[in-house]
Structure 1
Amino acid sequence: MQLLSYILVYPFIWLLSILPFRVLHFISDAFYYLLYYIIGYRKKVVFDNLQLVFPEKSDEEITRIAKKSYRHFVDVFVEIIKLFTISKKQLAKRYKIGNIDVLKKLEKQNKSTLLMGGHYANWEWIFLLNTQVSFNGYAVYKKINNKYFDKKIIETRGRFNTNLVNTKKIFSVMNKNTEENRLSLYGFLGDQSPQVTKAHYWSHFLGVDNLPIHTGAEHLAKKYDLPVVFFKTKRVKRGYYEVNFELITDEPQSFKDYDITDIYLRKVEEEIKEAPEYYFWTHKRFKHRGKNLLKKNQD
């Protein structure tokens, strides 16, 4: 069944991928109308999230952000599809890499590094970075259930010198790279909600208290003494982005537990508040809010 699904669906994805951006954006506009006005895909989730995070905004403002967010949501979806066939040269024209010197300096010091970002703007195109640095690039991802699609995505990202690593295998990969002194750059996105049973830390994000927080990236940075760099993505205009880097620390072991995670979260918040329409509000980021307090009361 997995193979059949792949055979039936992938040719359609490939055909979409070879289309020029102007055609893809036309398709995106049509799907935006379908998702927002007809299907209402996760509309309650989006509006609930926005009203929770921006209680000071009027209904009109919330609606305006929501509509722009849906448009961006579909744009990113077609831009991800475009990655299957886009050339490095074409991608470089649309995804400008800013102050890469932050990473080049760590590279010269032979320091493997942990790179953190959020689900903001187009985080997928960050893979282009690995064609412009000497690091061996790794991106932590959740394995797709269909093994054929999973293999194709790994192959596609490999065109940009990126190795996708399943969350379950990242420890063994980092152990091996450390033992072999392999200069590596590890990419993490940590702004979504972890499972409650796996949450070690509860804090606030976007003004909402008592949320479970991903802390795996900080744990690995401390374990392997990796500098932590934040990447901030800006949407310049439709189909064009710019990314810049900021060193959070090159001495992670000097920080108290969860301080690096808190700094990271504040940077994601700043990014979102500058232009909230480019964040993925369809995520159920706040679904576990307050469950830590409920558990304490039960205990």
Structure 2
Amino acid sequence: MQFIIYLLVYPILWLVSILPFPIFYFLSDCIYILVYYVIGYRKKVVRKNLELTLPHLSEAERLQVEKKFYKHMCDMFLEMIKTLTISKKEMQKRFTFSNIELFHEYEKKNKSIILFYAHYASWEWSITLGTHVNFKGYGIYKKIQNKYFDKLVKDIRSKFDAVLIDTKSTIKTVTENQQAGILGLYGFISDQNPVPHRTKYWDTFMGYTVPIHTGGESLAKNLNMNVLYMKVEKVKRGHYNATFIPITDDAAAMPEHEISRRFIKEVEKQIYEAPEYYFWTHKRWKHRKEKAQ
């Protein structure tokens, strides 16, 4: 059954991916109308998240953020499909880096790098980073149940010199690489909602005390890796720019949870700057505690 589903869906994805960009984004506009006005996909969740975290905005202002978010979300998911056939040259033109030299300076420190980033703007197209750096790039991801689509996703990433590691294999892979002297770049998207009863650290995020992922920090401290935050911004439709922000080049010496705290504060700052590009459909504040003072 998995293979049949793959055979049925893949041709549609491929046809979408080869559309010229003007038609491609016209399709996105049509999908936006369907998703927002007809289906109302997770509209209650998005609206609640915006009410909780952006109380300083008026209802009309939050509505504008909401609509802009849905338009961006439709663009972003179609752009994920575009990675099927987009060339390296085109990707490098559309996803740029303002200070790639900083990353190269960190590579010279001769330690592996943990790269934190968020569900903001375009995390999918950030895979082009692998074509700009010397370290081998690894992305941490949740394995797709359909093994054929899982392989497809891995093959797409390999076009941009990136290797995917499923969450269950992360510690083993990173540790083995360290023991073998393999210097790597490990990308962690760590801003979403972890399981509360397994959470060791809670902190303030957008005004509420919530559980925070600390897996990336634990690896960085245990293996003394360097840590950077990648701030991705949407320049215009179909174009993004990333800036690297240092968190630490001495993770082992950092106080407990300080790395995770600095990361989540960078994410928070970015959301306040342009909230429409954050991924609001997840129930990030489901397990919130009292509102922070």
TM-score range (shorter-chain normalised) is over 0.9
For structure 2, the residue ranges without an aligned partner over 5 or more in a row are: none
Report matched runs for 1:227-266 at 5 Å.
227-266=226-265
Is 1:155 the counterpart of 2:152? The answer is no
Cα distance in structure 2, aligned partners of 1:138 and 1:69: 28
1:26 deviates by: 0.5
Q: What TM-score results when the alignment is normalised by the length of structure 1?
A: 0.95
Runs of 5+ in structure 1 lacking a partner?
Answer: 292-299
What is the match of residue 11 of structure 1?
11
Measured in 1, the distance between the counterparts of 2:96 and 2:251 equals 28
Per the alignment, residue 280 of structure 2 pairs with 281
Matches within 5 A, 1:213-232: 213-232=212-231
Give runs of ≥4 in structure 1 deviating > 6 Å.
Answer: none
Q: TM-score normalised to the size of structure 2?
A: 0.97
The number of residues matched between the two structures is 290
How much does 1:109 deviate? 2.5
How far is the alpha carbon of 1:290 from its aligned partner?
A: 2.8
Question: In the alignment, does 2:61 pair up with 1:80?
Answer: no
State the shift of 1:229 in Å: 0.3
Percentage of matched positions with identical amino acids: 48
Amino acid of the structure 1 residue aligned with 2:141: Y
- Following TM superposition, by how much is the alpha carbon of 1:101 offset from its aligned partner in structure 2, in angstroms? 1.3
SS of 1:286's equivalent in the other structure is coil
> Helix, strand or coil for the counterpart of 1:168?
helix
RMSD (Å), alpha carbons: 1.0
Aligned equivalents of 2:153 and 2:125: distance in 1? 13
Per-residue deviation, residues 76-132 of structure 1 (Å, max 9, x unmatched): 001111011100000111111120111101222222100000000011111111111
Distance of 1:77 and 1:183 partners within structure 2: 31
Matched residue, 1:104: 104
Alignment check: 8 A CA contact 2:208 2:289 kept: no
Cα displacement (A) at 1:20: 1.4
Q: Secondary structure at the match of 2:225?
A: coil
**3-state SS of 2:272 partner:** helix
Aligned to 1:29: 29
Structure 2 counterpart of 1:192: 192
For 2:15 and 2:36, locate their aligned partners in 1 and report how far apart those are by CA, in whole Å: 25
Specify the SS of the correspondent of 1:169: helix
Letter in 1 for 2:82: K
Tell me the distance in 2 between the aligned counterparts of 1:43 and 1:224: 42
2:249 counterpart letter in structure 1: D
Q: Which amino acid aligns with 1:65?
A: V
